[in-house]
Amino acid sequence: MKKINVAVVGYGGMGGWHTDRIREMEKFNLAGVWDIDPESLARARACGIHTYGSFEDVLADDSVPLLTIATWNDVHKPLCIAAMRAGKNVISEKPVTLSVADLDEMIAVSEETGKLFTVHQNRRWDDDFLTMKNIYDKNLLGKVFRIESRVQGSRGIPGDWRKEKGHGGGMVYDWGVHLLDQALTLNDDNPLESVYAHITNVTNEECDDGFYAELRFRNGLYYMVEVTTNNFIALPRWYILGENGTSVIEDWELNGKSTLVHDWKKIDAVPVKAGTGITKTMAPRTDETIHDEPLEKIHGQWTQYYDNIYDVLNGNATQIVTHRQMRRCLKLIEAIFTSAETDSVVKFRED
């Protein structure tokens, strides 16, 4: 097997993660890294990694056909375009860029040069997402009418560029892009019809420190995405409601369960006390009509992402994260910002 040389641009947290993974993989070889920060380069050298003298030096290295760009969000676009124009294939970290107009320019360069251009949407292989997707795809709950997808932190935005608009900061571009890509991946063939969203500025004025987005798909599915950074009690990672049951996936460790109804018609219940009154409607079901099932845990193989890149570069596959999907996700992000700014439901037009 001929290994493919990769250079990583941006050797911070995620650049370090890519270099570590690439060094473990059989199909790739880490050629070196470049970062504008001399201290990052020194750290790389201390780990035995070759460092380049400039971005131009990376582009001039004919032994390297592939770059992974893991810099701040605002410079993904110029770096990816320069790389493709220099004959390199590129993986950009997410978000691929900050607007659909910018992405269109990047896609045009990819088409003109014939170079691979894609984005690292690694969370398509997260166990929690795949476990939820399995419930949905297998129809375990009957027709699913609502999915709630949440991540909730309690430290605000970390004290780096993610707080700065000029660098493409904020939580919509940060965690949001992952959760939105998951929502769209689950509904790849199911048109998105409308979006209602609001963003929060609880701990940060310059950039959004969280958001809530309600997505309505053509098949009637309502899909809620929530990213927040000031929650000291977190709600479950996933909450899935179907006609015949409910599933909860509490966390990334896949704690949770499904509760299924096996005798829907037996709905008679004894009223229970509720606050200052009583209720029959909200009384819990009796045990003989429902039962719990453990979650079928699905474990993802994230290395399939780089395996796919290898196959694409050898002419044996098409890219998993496609230009259409990248564009759809950025269009959704733009719709979220528009909805939040205008406090209105935004109609979504699929291309």
Within 10 A of 128 (CB to CB), how many other CB atoms are there?
Answer: 25
Q: Assess 169 for contact with ligand NAD (CB under 6 A).
A: no
Q: How far is the CB of 75 from ligand NAD (least distance, A)?
A: 4
| Distance separating alpha carbons of residues 65 and 68, to the nearest angstrom | 11
Q: How far is the CB of 162 from ligand NAD (least distance, A)?
A: 8
Q: Assess 313 for contact with ligand NAD (CB under 6 A).
A: no
Q: Assess 160 for contact with ligand NAD (CB under 6 A).
A: yes
- The residue (of 100 and 248) whose beta carbon lies closer to ligand NAD is 100
Residue of 97, 110, 122, 247 that binds ligand NAD (CB under 6 A): 122
Cα dist from 166 to 32, 74, 157, 207, 309, whole Å: 28, 7, 15, 10, 31
| Distance separating alpha carbons of residues 202 and 125, to the nearest angstrom | 31
Question: Hey, what amino acid is at 270?
Answer: V
How many Å separate Cα 75 from the centre of its chain?
19
Residue of 25, 36, 248, 298 that binds ligand NAD (CB under 6 A): 36
Give the binding-site size for ligand NAD (rule: CB under 6 A): 25
Instruction: Measure the CA angle with vertex 281, ends 277 and 285; round to 5°.
Output: 115
- The residue (of 125 and 212) whose beta carbon lies closer to ligand NAD is 125
Residue 157 in tokens: 């935005």
| Interface of this chain with ligand NAD, residues 79 to 118, rule: CB under 6 A | 93-94
Q: Assess 223 for contact with ligand NAD (CB under 6 A).
A: no
Q: Using only C-alpha atoms, what is the Rg of the chain?
A: 23
Q: How far is the CB of 252 from ligand NAD (least distance, A)?
A: 13
The residues binding ligand NAD (CB under 6 A) are 9-15, 34-37, 40, 55, 70-73, 75, 93-94, 120, 122, 160-161, 174
